[in-house]
Amino acid sequence: MSESKTSKIVVRVAASVITVGVLWLLSRIPGLLLWLGNIGSTFWSHLKGTSGLPNWGLYLLVLTAIYAAINLISRFKKPKGPKVTAYNQDTFLGLIWRWSYISGHPHNPWAFCPYCDTMLVYSEHVGHYRIKDETILTCETCNREMLRHEGDKNYLVNKIHRQIDRAIRTGEWKTKIESSTEQ
């Protein structure tokens, strides 16, 4: 188990022990449970009452307004760094790959020529007998083969998805974004 997972477990166990200890200490205060019960029943009867609107509806409106205000403030707050969606281009297998995002997840990566920036065209050669399938990416502008990769097109695209996912999970994408903005 990694050190960070172990430390998270230790913190959670310590928080649980402290919470139980505090609740036990509070139960030792004479009359505290009776007082909390009285406050709870008073609040419940207040919620069931009305004042133009039912009180529970009024509280619901107040909570909704607070939620909306927090969302509004968070939209105007400046982000502390680049978002992961800014990472939409990288070099894999000697080619430039670009993709978009749908719901925060990389979508539809495809290769571009490193010389003329043309979207590459693929062709698949299906192997027979002991010859393996392969995908060939070609630049129509440069008239040259840019990549010959084992497996079909779906395998190649999924391999690039795995590389993008690895860069996002490890945080490597941040250094790639910083290096591309410095150039």
For residues 134 and 128, is the Cβ–Cβ distance under 8 A? no
Question: What pLDDT was estimated at residue 177?
Answer: 82
Question: What pLDDT was estimated at residue 36?
Answer: 85
- C-alpha closest to that of 173 among 56, 52, 165: 165
This prediction has a pTM of 0.54
Question: What separation in angstroms does the CA of 126 have from each of 129, 154, 156, 160, 164?
Answer: 10, 13, 14, 21, 27
Mean pLDDT, range 73-88, rounded to an integer:
81
- C-alpha closest to that of 118 among 91, 92, 95: 95
Question: What pLDDT was estimated at residue 53?
Answer: 75
Report pLDDT digits (tens) over 5-27. Answer: 778 889 999 999 999 999 888 88
Question: What pLDDT was estimated at residue 2?
Answer: 61
Question: What separation in angstroms does the CA of 32 have from each of 46, 74, 139, 182?
Answer: 21, 39, 78, 62
